[in-house]
Amino acid sequence: MTRRCSKMVLIGLDGVCPEAILRLIEKGKLPTFKRLIDNGVFAENALAPYPTITPPNWTTIVTGAWPGTHGITGFWVHNPGEPLDKTHCAVTTDFCHADYLWDAAGKEGMKCIIMNYPTSYGANPPGSVVIGGSGLAINESGVGLEEESSEKLICTVCNEQLFATDGYARAATVEVVGAEGWKNLPQDAGEAYEVALPLYYPDARVPVAERQTWHLLLPESDGIYERAVLCKERDYDTRLAELEPGKWSDRIVEAFETERGRVEAAFKVQLLELSDDGEVVRLYFTPICRLSGWSVPDDAADELRHVEGLPMPGSRLASYSLGWMGPDAHMDLYDMMHDWYAAAAAKLLRSGEWNMLFMHAHPPDWLAHRILNESDELINQDPESLRVHDGMMTRCYESIDRMIAKITDAAGDDALVVVVSDHGTAPKGNGFPLRKVLEDAGYLAHKDDGSVDWSNTKAVPQRVCYVYLNVKGRDPSGIVEPGEEYERVRDEVIDLLRNYVDPKTALRPMALVLKREDARVLGIYGDIIGDIVYALRPPYGGVHGQRLTTAKRGTASLNPLIIMTGPYLKKGLRLKRNFWLLDLVPTICHIMELPVPEHTEGAVIHQALEDPDIDRKGREELKRDYEELLRNYNSATLGGV
């Protein structure tokens, strides 16, 4: 059939709040965002389900279903009946019970590209290409992890590495010595020095079987050391890169022997520091990024082998916070990721038939977790620190702006464009010591080794916003009797949390504390959530997760970003009504004339449409045509008698 719109790109930006975008546009930055907002619909009251967490909300965005319906109720999920401290990292489609938009579209013969979309691991609609999806970036994965900690999203081949003569946390300390036993040294190497670089492959998901030691040669010229040569062996002919301080190498591609076979991977290095006397050296390796193994079909990765940037894992990038490098070099890493997403998406859009692109970039959220407080003018009172960190956030958004421009360019003018975030982020505040509060009140007990003493525990926190009672017959070591005792203990714990007053601030940290049944108003329900659901109010809570979507702090909010532009949409509309993330799927389906996925609960945002009545008018026109046809037929038939 001919559709009124047959192409859509959905560009996901993790943790972006609308205020941040508008503020930068006001300063004359972000031309692509400005163009999209001027030509499309911008939701002033976009709302995200609770908890304001990545996997549930990205799943809501592509199913149109509440987390209670699709089943992903946290970064981690808990299966009823399993021990209360057992959870599973919710990065695969196995945990989702709702139909995805890409499946509904696939059944209609549409071709989908799903790229770095969180929780899409396992997706495979007919004719589609799936790139990554098992973590928050390519080459990282949380598949199969059962221990609740986002630090566990681990990398292929490995995370970033630093080799330095001065001691740095998580770095290899190295020594500069006179170069000896080198082959093929050029005449002009002078009194060269060398540094042995024992690669240490941090955070490797699959261990590297053959650990290599590479070598850095420091040639001397007129008594000065101002460049370096990275070599695989003490042989100048094995050189991988020639380095000058402060400049990135070209992309280096090498093979690594892992415990699951040989893989090819790309990375860049930068000589961050080299003293004139050659005695102080600091050499940085980006994560070593596998060039295959993360696409369905397998050979889709081959097509992306040579695209610009790096398919880099990012969850554990800490080179700025560890003091390894300054803000500029660190922000270059996010540019490399955005460049890769833009180039990979553009290549796939230009090289084949496609109808829908779903992609996501995580850097704004990672940065928010690390530096949002420092970059917020209402929170950070130190002007120099504010300047540096605001500059970093701005650079990240500018990099994203360029990425969106490249992708929308490749998609063409007739495509529906959706730019969306899963939740906003606002400066973090105090934590709430939930474990201690429960312990002090006698509901939670620990053994001497720090583990939970289940035989004396009635209530225990789990995941981001839940408290579970330890219920007999339901939980493996349950002690709370179902029925009367359950209700009594639950009421006591709810009262305890609601009435808790922080002795330091005299504030009550809880925005709400609800029984499981009452949490249905938040869109979470059933036995996949805690017996008690709570949310913190600012200043309490992290940048997102435990705060409601309407929470605000500093200059930012937890509201997600929603911009839509393209055919059949109003132009330059600042939409005032609520726009839930779950309204995207039905609105997209309406514009593209697609069947709505089975479990979708959101609704079409009629107010965003140029002509909300288009379908009814179409039906009436058909009816008129049919009646006229019938009249003509009848008069022709009767006339013939």
Which residues of the chain form contacts with Zn ion (CB under 5 A)? Answer: 14-15, 54, 365, 422
The total of other beta-carbon atoms located within 10 Å of residue 518's CB is 14
Beta carbon nearer to Zn ion, 54 or 457: 54
Total residues found in the chain within this entry: 641
Beta carbon nearer to Zn ion, 341 or 486: 341
CB of 52 to Zn ion, least distance (A): 8
User: Hey, what amino acid is at 215?
Assistant: H
The angle, 0 to 180 degrees and rounded to 10, between the axes of the packed helices 363-375 and 383-411 is 150
| Omega cis (within 30) before 51 | yes
CB of 54 to Zn ion, least distance (A): 3
CB of 317 to Zn ion, least distance (A): 16
Smallest Cα–Cα separation from 465: which of 410, 516, 504, 418?
516
Beta carbon nearer to Zn ion, 423 or 458: 423
Instruction: Determine the Cα–Cα distance for residues 158 and 316; give it in Å rounded to an integer.
Output: 10
Beta carbon nearer to Zn ion, 193 or 579: 579
Beta carbon nearer to Zn ion, 43 or 592: 43
Q: List, edge to edge, every strand of the sheet that includes 261-267.
A: 157-158, 288-290, 261-267, 252-258
CB of 203 to Zn ion, least distance (A): 20
CB of 566 to Zn ion, least distance (A): 25
Token digits of residue 332? 């270059």
Q: How many CA atoms lie within 13 A of 172 on its CB side?
A: 20
Smallest Cα–Cα separation from 212: which of 231, 237, 184, 236?
231
Beta carbon nearer to Zn ion, 121 or 284: 121
Beta carbon nearer to Zn ion, 272 or 561: 561
CB of 55 to Zn ion, least distance (A): 8
Residue nearest to Zn ion (CB): 54
CB of 334 to Zn ion, least distance (A): 16
Q: Mention every residue, 6+ apart, whose C-beta is less than 8 A from residue 143.
A: 89, 91, 92, 121, 134
Token digits of residue 446? 């620990």
CB of 155 to Zn ion, least distance (A): 19
Beta carbon nearer to Zn ion, 365 or 475: 365
Q: What are phi and psi of 435, to 5 degrees?
A: -60, -45
Smallest Cα–Cα separation from 37: which of 419, 580, 408?
419
Token digits of residue 89? 């990292």
Token digits of residue 185? 């040294």
The angle, 0 to 180 degrees and rounded to 10, between the axes of the packed helices 31-39 and 383-411 is 60
Bridge partner list, 515: 532
CB of 610 to Zn ion, least distance (A): 31
Beta carbon nearer to Zn ion, 6 or 557: 557
